[in-house]
Each structure stands twice: as structure tokens, then as C-alpha cells.
Chains A and B, each alone.
Chain A
Amino acid sequence: METFTIRAQARASLPGTGRQAIVGVVASGNLEVLLERSETGDAVVVDVTTSARGFRAVWEAVVADFIARSSPGGVRFSIHDNGARPDTVTLRLLQGVKLLETQP
């Protein structure tokens, strides 16, 4: 297992008022993402716990691409990954912010 934190700045804070959301399951080739609106300003924090060692550079690229696409400022993402592919990670991140944005 490997654990690390990626910090970034988004262009804007995430719209909506939902406080937290969870998407995905820690199944084989899948991951769960817990989203919490807990960061100040447009800061983004991504805590990753992954079963696959040695892919930090790929995670950083996926997260950078995701932040450029969706601008989730103010959100902390906590991830438990069980060997998901980068496209699955992107999908879950996008699902997560959509859920948080549209929640009452």
C-alpha cells in the first residue's frame, strides 16, 4: 500500500451547498472517494491510499487534469483505491463533484 497527499489550487470553488458525498466501492479495480467541503478558499486536497505502489506520478497527472476540468475548490477528496485504472479514477472524481454540487 502507499499513502500520499496531493495539494492544489482550483480556479474557483465548487458550486452548490452539499457538505459531503461518497461515490464508488473499494472493489477490485475500483475505488471509493469521500468528498468533504472542508478546505478554505479554492484549495483542493486529495488524500490517496492505494493498494498499487509506485504510481504517484500518474495520480498527480490524473488529479491535475481533473482539477483543470471541474474546478472543485474548497473540497477535500479522501480516496481508498484498490487498483483502479486512471480512467476509472477520473470518472469517480467527476461523479463525486457532480453529486456534491447537486445535493441539497
Chain B
Amino acid sequence: MIPEEIVRSPSWYESSARNRIAGVLDADTFHEILGPAERVMSPHLELFDLPPAFDDGVIVGRGQLDGKPVAIIAQEGQFMGGTFAEVSGAKIVGLLRAVTAAAGTPDGVSAVLLLLDTGGVRLQEANAGELAVSETVRALLGVRAAGIPVVALVGGRAGAFGGGGIVTACCSHVVISEQGRISVTGPEVIETNKGAEEFDSRDRALVWRVTGGRSRVLLGGADSYVKGDVASFRAAAARSRNAAPPFTLETMAAEQERLEKRLSSYGDCRDTPEIWARAGLADPASVPDIDDDAFLALLSEREIKHDAR
């Protein structure tokens, strides 16, 4: 039997992209665009003798969150590592452009929810994937410029790596759980290029200590920290939709200043406990070990907030 608390509050990390959408939106409000039955699939995978997916690993559509319309995009991290590719990328870019075009009309949405779960570009169609990432960044900034917040939800198995890390950093607000990871160059790639002395990708504690949700929210790479259940992500998405900063030159200048300050304060640190010690946390080594309630208490009592974005 599945324990009762798991039935009641399914884990974001364990859920499929479709189940995350169902859990984030109001019940029965999701309308998918280019759903699986339309069979808009990767034309490239067959050349590599790989089975495709009916939705190419990305689900896009509209729905409601607390009664207000939202656009939603979810990557399925378990299919090909949740990758940016030709078809999946076009679905993301198309939806973002449609949101911008509909801004201020009766079809306008209150926010875009971006459920990232990706290792980055799909290597089998890498050129198209790289283009998809840059087009996504441009389209996403277009949505923000139209006054619509884009909220990233990161807590899947694949994390948000490569282009996914860049896209995350462009969002208005980033929600993350302990299991969530954000970075550009993945641990294995760093190790391959620079050696295990630089970064040992098999050291799971190190990987999460550096790229994981707790370190990201402490340093301002993410804005909201949630427990890893689907309901917490839903609540944070609804809250942060209203807390997003305006996409203005002032915000960009403040963001640049924030990042410069972070680099000058901690740029020479070799590992995250050094950063927490310098930031004045009482027991820096315990940060990865305390439970979620204790970590949330730590965040609120120290009033850790990173504005700009």
C-alpha cells in the first residue's frame, strides 16, 4: 500500500510533467495545445534509432490558477533528460509569443508558469536546441516586457541545467525545492573538462550543496523555497505571480548591482559552507542536513530576500 500522506501530497520530484500540471492548476481547467494525439514529434530521433514521444517531452497550454487564467509549460525530465529540441522548443517559443500577443486582450493571462525539468539541449538535435534556447530567452523577455510575470518552478529530477539554467535566470520569480538544482554547466561536464579535483560529479552531497535548492535560495539564484510536494509548488506559484518585479531598466540595473555584489563578496569561495560562514550563518555546515521546516525558519528569521530579477 502507498502511505496515506504520499497519496494526499504527491512529490514534485516523483511526479510526471502531466501530473505536475494537474496539481498546479485548478481541477479540470487545463487545455493542452498540440496534445499527444496530434503527434507533433521530433523528426530527428528516428535517425538515431530512438523512440520519440507524442508530445516531444514538452506540454503546453492554458488553464486557471485560483480562478485566474495562466499559460503553462512543463518539460518531462524523464524523456531524453527533458531537453530543449526543435519541436519541444518551438512549442515553448510559440506559447510565449502567443501570450505576448494576447496581453491586454480578453485572452490575456495573469502569468506564465514554466515547469523546468531539463539537462539542457538535446544532443541529437543540438543546433535546433541551441536556437530554441535563445528564442525562448527572447520570447520570455517579451512576455515580461508586456507586463506578464513568468514564474519558474524547479524541483524535477533533471534540474534546470544548460540552457534551462539560463532560461530560469531570465524569469520574474524562481520557486525551488531542496531537490531542485539550477546551473548552466552540469557536474559531469565540469568534471570531464576540468577533472575530479575541480568538481567530483559522483559526490552527490557536493553537487546538491553547490547547485541544489537551498544554496540557490540562500544566494538569490532562486526566490522562494518550498517543501517538495506539488501543493506547495502550487501555493508558491499563486503567491509569486503577484510579487514579481516590473521588467524595467531600474530592475535590470538593480539586478546587475546585486550580481556584482555577490561576486565580489563570495567569488573566491571554494565551497558553499565558506559562503554561509562569511554571510554570518551560525552553523554553516548544518545547512544541508536540517529539515525543511528548520530551513524555512532560518530563511524567515534572517529575512533572506533578494529583490531585483
Contacts and interface: CB of A to CB of B under 8 A. Distances in A.
Interface of A: 1, 20, 22, 25-27, 30, 32, 34, 36, 49-51, 78, 80-82
23 contacts: A1-B49, A1-B50, A1-B51, A20-B37, A22-B36, A25-B16, A25-B78, A25-B79, A26-B51, A26-B78, A26-B80, A27-B78, A27-B79, A30-B78, A32-B53, A36-B37, A49-B52, A51-B49, A51-B50, A78-B54, A80-B52, A80-B54, A81-B51
B76 interface: yes
Nearest to B157: A27
A36 to B, nearest CB: 6
Interface in B129-166: none
A50 B51 contact: yes
Instruction: Determine chain B's interface SS by DSSP, over half rule.
Output: loop
Given A25-B16, A25-B79, A49 B51 contact: yes
A26 B17 CA distance: 12
Contacts of B18: 22
* Interface residue SS majority, chain A: strand
Contacts of A30: 78
B46 interface: yes
A32 B41 CA distance: 14
Interface string B37-58: 1000000001001111110000
B165 to A, nearest CB: 22
A27 B78 CA distance: 5
Contacts of A1: 46, 49-51
B124 to A, nearest CB: 14
Contacts of A81: 51
A89 B309 CA distance: 45
A32 B78 contact: no
Looking at A26, A81, A82, the one whose CB has the most chain B CB atoms below 10 A away is: A26
A32 B53 CA distance: 8
Given A1-B51, A27-B79, A81-B51, 16 more contacts: A1-B46, A22-B18, A22-B36, A25-B17, A25-B78, A25-B79, A26-B78, A26-B79, A34-B36, A34-B37, A36-B37, A49-B51, A78-B54, A80-B51, A80-B54, A82-B51
